[in-house]
Amino acid sequence: MGGPVISVDSVRKTHRLGRVRALDGASLEICSGEVLGLIGPNGSGKSTLLGCVVGLLLPDAGRVTVDGAAPDNLDVRARLGWLPERPSFHAGMSARQQLEFHHALLGRSDAGRAASVEAALDRVRLEADARQRRPTRFSQGMKQRLGLAMALLGEPDLIVLDEPTTGLDPGGVVMVRAIVSEARARGATILLSSHQLDEVARSCDRVALLRGGCIEAEESAGDASRLERYFDQTTP
């Protein structure tokens, strides 16, 4: 495992015109090739922290860097695979067209686009007939698979996943576990937020516990029962 790739330094962030404090001095480092799990109670600031890491939210104070650059740097974004908690898509495009469009936005070669898109759709096991359909009527699980496919385009070396198993059946959960394992094996750095503590224990090298907008503790992932005991101790 290499040195820090993602650095979150004393980040503060408020929402609703400053009335809701989501992050209150959060600090975190994620090393090259590491899979870090982010857990915490509802409202602890997990999605806000991920939004700052991927450059969708600007901290009110503190700093986030990715390999020393700002998260919204175009070179950083070209390396990043991002799955939000509730993926959204262009209403007028089929599932395949969504990925083709995203592939173009990443600045990837036109020549390899079709093969890259099909490989991503195959990896998430989206059925062949669904690829030509618009995702507006997809089930939650199918939308999640499409969002995962989008995050995996081009085999990014930085991957941020917010509740990646939401809406997935047991086979889909196993699929996500395999995707994380494969990405780790090729050296990707992964930040994964989840309420599924057993999946965090299975998939991650280390876990960070977020509470009240601060990182309260960091430790090796260990087993799910130990994480559950700690979680119980930190939940009101």
Q: Tens of pLDDT along 86-123? A: 898 988 899 999 999 988 888 777 788 999 999 999 99
pLDDT at 118: 93
Nearest Cα neighbor of 63 from 13, 11, 22 is 11
Nearest Cα neighbor of 33 from 228, 206, 232, 222 is 206
How much of the chain exceeds pLDDT 90, in percent? 66
pLDDT band for position 1 (50/70/90)? Answer: low
Print the domain residue range for 54: 4-85+156-234
Q: Quick one: average pLDDT of 173-197?
A: 93
Q: Is 189 left (phi over 0), alpha (psi -120 to 50) or beta?
A: beta
Alpha carbon distance 75, 117 (integer Å) = 21
Domain membership flag for residue 80: yes
pLDDT at 2: 67
Tell me the per-residue pLDDT of 120-165, one tens digit each, with 9 for 90 and over: 999 999 999 999 999 988 999 999 999 999 999 988 999 999 999 9
Domain membership flag for residue 104: no
Where is 21: in which H helix or E strand? strand 20-31
pLDDT band for position 198 (50/70/90)? Answer: confident
CA atoms within 13 A on the CB side of 89: 28
Domain membership flag for residue 112: no
pLDDT band for position 17 (50/70/90)? Answer: low
DSSP 69: B
Domain membership flag for residue 214: yes
Do residues 54 and 81 make contact, with C-beta atoms less than 8 angstroms apart? no
Cα angle value 69/73/76 (rounded, 5°) = 75
Domain membership flag for residue 122: no
Q: Quick one: average pLDDT of 167-196?
A: 93
pLDDT at 235: 47
Domain membership flag for residue 226: yes
- Model confidence at 9: pLDDT above 90: yes
pLDDT at 78: 87
Strands 189-193, 206-211: pairing is unpaired
pLDDT at 115: 92
Q: Is 20 left (phi over 0), alpha (psi -120 to 50) or beta?
A: beta
- Model confidence at 223: pLDDT above 80: no
Alpha carbon distance 171, 197 (integer Å) = 18
Domain membership flag for residue 118: no
Nearest Cα neighbor of 36 from 216, 228, 209 is 209
Do residues 82 and 151 make contact, with C-beta atoms less than 8 angstroms apart? yes
Question: What's the structural domain count of the chain?
Answer: 1
Q: Match 């994964």 to its residue by tokens.
A: 192
Domain membership flag for residue 95: no
Q: Which residue has the higher pLDDT, 233 or 206?
A: 206
Q: Quick one: average pLDDT of 74-83?
A: 91
CATH number at residue 25: 3.40.50.300
Do residues 130 and 82 make contact, with C-beta atoms less than 8 angstroms apart? no
Q: Quick one: average pLDDT of 51-63?
A: 95
**Average pLDDT of the residues of the chain:** 89
